[in-house]
Chain A
C-alpha cells in the first residue's frame, strides 16, 4: 500500500488565544501542541493582511483533524528511524485490491467516455438513477427505501459536512463519546458547538454521552438531555460495538419523544457478523426520525475511489412540516455536483451478485485480521472490545493517557495505532487498532504486541 501524503501544508492551527491557554491544557492536548507542525517559518506570517476576519468557528477547533495528525507522527517517527518497518494499524484504510469485476466495469466505462455513444457529461447531482435504485433495492431490501430517497455522494465524511450545512448553526448535536471526529469537528465549523472547555475537553453546546463497557457501549438515554441532532454510528468507530435491535429501538423512541433527528452512520454495517441491525430503517418508526449515511469505502475498498450515499426518507420533516429531503436535495445541487461517474460505475458493479460476493470476501478477510489481533491482544492480558462486528479493536489501558500509550507502542514496536482520546474524552485510556492490512503485516503486528507487554 502506498500513500502519497503531503503534509507540507500544515493541518494544525491555533488561535492566538490558545497560546495563552497552553499552561491550562491537558496532557493530551500537549501532544497536539508539541507535535503540530507549522508553516516553514512561523505560524503568523508577516506581510499584507486582508481585513477579512478569520471565521471564529475555525478558531474554536483545538488542533488539526485527527487522522492527518496521526500521519504526521508517523512521518516524524520515520525520520527518527528511517529503516523501521512501520506497520500502520492507525487510519482505517483498506488495503485489499479491488476485484476485477469492479475494476473492469470502471475500465469499460472509462473507455466509453472516449466514444460518442459512451460519453457522459454532468450527471444528476443525486446520483445515477441505476445506482440509486440498486442501493435502495440491494442494501435496503425490504425496508421500503425508495431510490428517490437515496443520494449518492463522494463519501460519508463529505455528506456529514453537507448535512451540517443543511442543518445550520442554530442546532445542538448529541454525540456518543468516543465518536468519529468529523461529527464534532463539523459541528464546531458550522457554529453549533459553542466554546471549548479545556477542563472537560468538551464543547459547551454538544451533548456528549459516554459509551463504555459499563454502559454496554450505548448511551444512558435516561440521563441525556434533548438535542436536535443525534449522531450515532453502528457498528461503531472506534469502539467496534454494534448496537442491538433493542438499543436502536430505544434510540428511535428517544428521538421520537424529543423530536430529534438521528444521523445514523452505517459505514461498517457490512462487517456485522451477528444479527445486529444493519440499518436504522430496520427499526419501526425510524423513517420519521432518521437519516442514514453510508459509504463504499470500507465496504468495497473505495477509500480512494470515493463513493457513498445518504438516505433521507420522505417522511422526515422539520418542526414546520417542511420535508428535510427537499432541503438536502437543494444542498446537493448547489454545494456539490455529483460523485464521479466512474466511481458510480464501480459502485454499481459492487452491488451485482458477483460484486457483492467479491466485496464480502474482502470484508471477511479483514474480520479474520481482526480476530488475529484480538486474540493476540487478549493473550497478553489486555481487555479488548470490538473486533467482532467491525474492523476495529478497542483496547483498554486502565489509568493511562492514550497519547502516551500511542507513543509507547510506536516507539517500542514501530506500529501506528490511534489514541482513544482523539475520538473524545470518553476515549481516554483506550487505543484503537484497525484490522486493515495485508495478512503478513497483521501477523507480524500480533507478534509485536506480544513483545510489548
Chain B
C-alpha cells in the first residue's frame, strides 16, 4: 500500500511539475508585463503542488480520523456478516465452562521469534540504545543494512559477543508476543489465558538469545539460572507446579534446561535429581524439532532453505535485491553461520531416523495428496487404501542432499560416489576481491568439485559434509551439540552438556508424574530433502545452490523446485516433531527410564477461509499454529489443572505411528 502510494504521488506530481515549470519561467519573465496588463495570474507550479499535497493530507487525515472513530468491534462485525458467526475464542468458551487459572505457565519462544535489542554498539548504531534490532519493524535493515548485519553477527571464534557490541534479548512477555507489528506469535495464547485469570505474575516468557548455543546463554546471560529462579518463584507463590509451553527450538532448549537444572553445580544448575518432578507438571511442546529440521541444512549449506522462518520470508522481497549492492546471501550466510543455535537444528539420529540411500521412514507416503484429504475424517487407519498408488512413486527421502535429480532417483547400486572427505581443498581464489568472508573461499574449486562428486548425502553424512565445507563453524558447534544416538546412556561422557539437547543421547528426568505433549500441525508440505547443483561461476559466490529446475512432471509430485517435501507443519517434518513422543519416549524406554507419560496431539492444517480471518484459527503452520483454537484450548485445559484424559489422549492425523514403527531404534 505504502509502496503504491509512494509510486503514485511522485508520478502525478512530476507530471504536473514539468509543464508548469516552463510556464512558470515564462511567467517570471513576463510577470511585469502581466501585472501591468492586469491579466489573470495562473497558478504557479508550486501552488498546484502545494494544493495537491494539501489535498492528499486532508484526505489522509479524514480517513485517519474515521478510522480512529470507528468502533473497535467493527472489523469483527464485518467478518461475521460475511462468514457467519465466529466461534467463541477458547478463552471465552472455557471461562463459561468455569475454568480458572491454576498452574503457572512458562513460555519458551523458538528461534528468530524473540526480539533482540541493542545495549552497546559501534558508532554507526548511534541512537539505537535499547531499540529492537530483531523483531519489531526491522527499520534498521533498510536504513543501515551493513551496520545491522555487523551488530547481529557474533564472534566467529567464540560464538559470543564481538568486542564492543552487546545485543541482548528483550525480556518479558513483549519479547515474543508479536514478532512484527500485527504478526502475532504468542499474543493470541496470552490473551486467551488472560481470559481465565492469568496475568503477569502467573505467566513468564523465558526469552533468551536464540543466536547463542544453549549453554552459552547461561555463560553469558545466566538465562538458565533466571528461568530456574522464575519457575521456583512462581511455584512457590502459587503452590502449583508449572506448565511449560515451548515452541520450535524452545523445545530443544527446554530439554537442555531439564538436564542442566538437575546437573551438579559448576556446569549445571544444582537443583538436585528431583527438581523437575517437584516443579513441572507438564511440558507442552509446540512444533518441536526434537530430531532436527532438514531445512537447517540448506540454510547452513547455501543460505537458501525456502523460508528459514522469517529471515527467509524477508529475503525474497528485500534481501535478494541489491541491498548490499551484491552478495546479499553471502552476507546473510556469514551472519547466520556465527549463530551457534542454528546448529542445534541439524537432523539428529543419522540414518537410523532419517533413512539411508534406499530407505526412509516416510516412504510410501504421498504428502502431495494432502489436498484431496479431508481434514474431518482422515485418521491414520483410513489411510491404507491410498498406499498402493503412492507406491508407484518411490521417494528416497533418505538422500537429504543429492547432486542432480538423477542422483536423487537412481538405484543405490547405480550411484558412483567418490569420497570427498580426503579431497584436497583448493587454494583460495581471489581472497582480495571478496569483501565477504565465508569458509567457501578457503575450500576452492577443487573442494567444491569433490563435494559434488559424492553425489548423495544421507543424514549422517551431512554432518561430515558440513565439517568439510565449514570446519570452523562445526568445530565451534560440535562443542555444544551432538547429533548421534547413544549406545549406552550410562556412559559418563553423556553428562557433558553438549548431549543435553539431543533426546537420543539423554534420559528424561526422573519425574513419573510429569506429562510431555507433542503438539504440531500436519497437512502442509514440509521440506525434507534437496536436489543441489554447483553454480558455474567461481568467485565470491556460494558454490552450491538448490537446483530449482528439478521438478517432477507429475502434478502430485513431492519434488518441486529442487525440494522434496513430506508431511509436517511447513518447517518441521512430522517425523521430527512426533517420533520421540510416539515411540522414543513412549512407555518405559531407555530414554525415558521413569516412564514419563507422552501424548501426541496433531492439528490438521486448514487455511483461513478468507482474508478477513487473518492467519486463521485452524492453521497448522509452524508459527500460525499459535493461533489455532484447538491448540490453545488444549493448553488452557492443562494449565487449568486438566490432564490428558480431559484432552482425550492422542489425536493423530498423520502416519506418525506407522513411520515410527519402521524406525529401528533400540529402546
Task: Please determine whether chains A and B interact with each other in the same assembly.
Answer: no
